[in-house]
């Protein structure tokens, strides 16, 4: 009889606890869901085959935008400082660990642009760009003094920047401005696919 009373009391306590729990989701649960959704969307963009036709500039900007989003998330979730090193023909992401900048791999591995495309980067209206992405491939050590032009900090802060991907001889180009006060601002112009100029706010997860 004593054992049955104990079980009954324990069952009543568990029921009372379940009834007293407030409805809805906690902030942490919502954040986890948002991060998972962002990761799935990023992987989906990265897995799409690049279209080397008239919209290749848009494709490459979609890829760069997805990678920047991933770098921001990784910096915050892992508590690390992440940076982006951009060159006229490619870019890569690095992470500050063991007292130095180390190149990242997997989805954030170095990327080389098509030969018909150029990248331009500006921070605080100053052009900051390497001439070539040579040395970015694989897990090549990060060159001393070749620090990233753009930083994504573990605190959620970041370097505001503007990046342009362009085709030569007045072809299509896409401009992306990113920053805590700017949001994500994307502009496409030139080429057969762009009728004049179109500014659009890019919704990020």
CATH number of the domain that residue 170 is part of? 3.55.40.10
Q: Domain count of the chain? A: 1
Q: Could you tell me if residue 23 is inside a domain?
A: no
Q: Could you tell me if residue 107 is inside a domain?
A: yes
| Distant-in-sequence contacts of 134-138, Cβ < 8 A, 24+ apart | 136/85, 136/87, 136/90, 136/91, 136/92, 136/103, 136/110, 136/112, 137/110, 137/112, 138/110
pLDDT (tens digit, 0 to 9) for every residue of the chain, 205 residues total? 433 333 343 343 343 344 444 556 676 665 565 556 555 544 544 455 444 444 489 999 999 999 999 999 999 999 999 999 999 999 999 999 988 999 998 999 999 999 889 999 999 888 887 777 776 655 455 565 578 999 999 999 999 999 999 987 778 899 999 987 768 899 888 754 443 344 454 444 4
**Residue ranges making up the domain that contains 185:** 28-201
Q: Could you tell me if residue 131 is inside a domain?
A: yes
Q: Could you tell me if residue 63 is inside a domain?
A: yes
């Amino acid at each position: 009889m004593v054992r049955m009373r104990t079980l009954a009391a324990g069952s009543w306590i568990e029921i009372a606890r379940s009834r007293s729990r407030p409805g809805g989701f906690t902030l942490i649960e919502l954040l986890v869901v948002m991060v998972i959704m962002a990761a799935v969307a990023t992987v989906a963009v990265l897995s799409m085959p690049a279209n080397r036709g008239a919209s290749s500039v848009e494709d490459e900007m979609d890829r760069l935008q997805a990678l920047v989003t991933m770098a921001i998330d990784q910096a915050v979730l892992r508590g690390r400082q992440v940076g982006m090193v951009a060159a006229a023909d490619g870019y890569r992401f690095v992470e500050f660990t063991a007292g130095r900048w180390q190149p990242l791999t997997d989805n954030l591995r170095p990327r080389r642009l098509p030969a018909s495309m150029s990248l331009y980067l500006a921070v605080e209206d100053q052009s900051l760009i390497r001439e070539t992405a040579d040395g970015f491939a694989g897990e090549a050590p990060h060159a001393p003094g070749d620090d990233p032009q753009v930083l994504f900090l573990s605190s959620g802060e970041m370097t505001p920047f503007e990046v342009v991907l362009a085709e030569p001889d007045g072809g299509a180009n896409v401009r992306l401005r990113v920053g805590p006060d700017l949001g994500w601002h994307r502009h496409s112009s030139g080429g057969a696919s762009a009728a004049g100029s179109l500014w659009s706010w890019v919704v990020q997860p």
